[in-house]
Amino acid sequence: MKARALVAAALIAAGQPATAADSGPLPGEIVTRIGQVAAVPADQRRVPGFAGAWRRAEAQDKVVERIAALEARSTPPCRDVQVTDTVQAAPDLIETRPAPVHHALERWTVSACGSRRQYDVWYRYERDASRLVVADSDAGDFQAVLDPPYRRLRELAAARRADEAAGQVRWLNLPLPPASLPAGNSHGPGGWSADFVPAGESIRDWTQLVSVQGLPRRNVPGQALALLEGMQAARARRCNVPAGPVEALGWGDGQRGETLQTVLVCPRVPDTNFAELAVVKAIEGPDFLYVIQRAWRLPAGDADRVRADSREPQAAAEAFLAGVRLCDPAVGKTDCAAPFPR
C-alpha cells in the first residue's frame, strides 16, 4: 500500500534510527499493571470501544484525521472511512532510561470503502516531546525495526492476544458517570485500585466517588461473600448500625465465580458532619476479585432520615453498577463498550 511507504518515509524523515531492534525487554522498561497509570476518561465519545471511553475528544479526532489521510493516499484512494472498533492492544510501557517516557498502543479497526483495515496507534508521552504515530498494522514489522519501543509494544500485544485466547483474562466494563476524573491509583502485592471523582473534587474532599479494586483471586468458594460481609461488619462497628444483607446477582464471568452486591449506609461518619452511602459490587473473575463501589456523601442525620435522603443516590448507584460487568474477549466484546484500561 502506498500509505505504508509514506508512513515509513515520514518516520525516517523524523530522524528515527534505522537500526535493527533486538526482541525482548527494553533497558529499564516497566510494563504497567492495572492501577499504575491513572486512566483519563474521554470528555466526549467520538469513536466506539476503548479510545472512545478513555481518550480525550481531541486525541480521538487526531487519530481519525490521520487514518483518513492515509486512506486518501492509498491506491485506490478512499474517502469513506468509518471507525468500527478500538481496543487497548497492549499494557502501557514506561522507559526509564535515559529519561522516563510513557508509551501506549491501541488498535483501531475501520471500514474503508467497504474493506476492513486495522491501524496501530502508538502514543509516546514525553515532556515537551510527545507524539503520535498512526500506521497500518500490516506495515508494523518495518516500523518496529526503526522504533524499539513500538517493537516492544507489539510483542506485548501478541502476548496479550495469547492470554485472551486462552480464556484467562477478562475485561471490566466501567461506564463512568460524565465528568468523572481520576483522583488516585495504586498497585502492590495486595492488588490494584483506582478512584474517580467529579471534576473539581479530590480524593479527600468528594461528594461522589467511584472506586475500582482488583484483589488477588483465591481458588476457594465464597471469596466475594466473605469480603462484602466483612465490609458490612466493619461498617456496623464503625457507625453503630446493623449489618445489612448481601445480594447474589449471578455468575461473574459466565463460567465460574459469583457476582454479589450490598448497600453500606453510615448515618454519621465518625468525627464528621456527613453520612455515607455506598453500593458495592463484587465480581469473582478468573484473574481478580473485582470490587466496584459508587459512593455518596450526604448530610448526617438519624438512620431513617439518611435512608430517606439516599433513595435517589442509591438508585443512581445501582443503575451505574448494572452496567459494570466482566467480558471474555476470547468470546466477544459487545458487552464491553467502556473496557477499563489494563
Full set of structural domains in the chain with CATH: 2-165 (no CATH), 171-327 (3.40.1000.10)
Angle, CA of 44, 195 and 228, to the nearest 5°: 125
Q: Which three cell numbers stand for residue 53?
A: 471511553
Q: Which three cell numbers stand for residue 40?
A: 483519563
C-alpha 75/C-alpha 171 separation (Å) is 37
Can you give the pLDDT at residue 29?
A: 94
Are 66 and 132 in contact by the 8 Å Cβ rule? The answer is: yes
Residue 161 Cα distances to 102, 130, 301, angstroms: 21, 27, 52
Question: Who's near 83: CB < 8 A, 6+ residues apart?
Answer: 47, 48, 64, 67, 108, 109, 110
Q: Determine the 3-state secondary structure of 40 from DSSP.
A: coil
C-alpha 195/C-alpha 212 separation (Å) is 6
C-alpha 237/C-alpha 240 separation (Å) is 5
Are 123 and 54 in contact by the 8 Å Cβ rule? The answer is: no
With pLDDT > 90 as the criterion, what percentage of the chain qualifies? Answer: 69
Q: Look-up: residue for cell 508494523? A: 140
Q: Please, where are the H alpha helices in the chain?
A: 2-13, 49-54, 57-72, 140-146, 148-165, 223-239, 303-309, 311-322
Q: Which three cell numbers stand for residue 144?
A: 518496529
Can you give the pLDDT at residue 1?
A: 41
Q: For the chain, which residues score pLDDT lower than 70?
A: 1-21, 140-144, 251-256
Q: What DSSP string runs through 159-208?
A: HHHHHHHTT---EEE--PPTTEEEEEEEEETTEEEEEEEETT--SSS-SE
Can you give the pLDDT at residue 142?
A: 66
Can you give the pLDDT at residue 167?
A: 83
Can you give the pLDDT at residue 180?
A: 93
Can you give the pLDDT at residue 220?
A: 82
Question: Who's near 310: CB < 8 A, 6+ residues apart?
Answer: 265, 275, 277, 296, 298
Residue among 205, 278, 212, 208 at smallest CA distance from 239: 278
Can you give the pLDDT at residue 255?
A: 55
pTM of structure = 0.87
Can you give the pLDDT at residue 138?
A: 84
pLDDT digits (tens, 9 = 90+) for 85-106: 999 999 999 999 888 899 999 9
C-alpha 233/C-alpha 227 separation (Å) is 10
3-state helix, strand, coil in the chain (%, to 5): 30, 35, 40
Can you give the pLDDT at residue 5?
A: 37
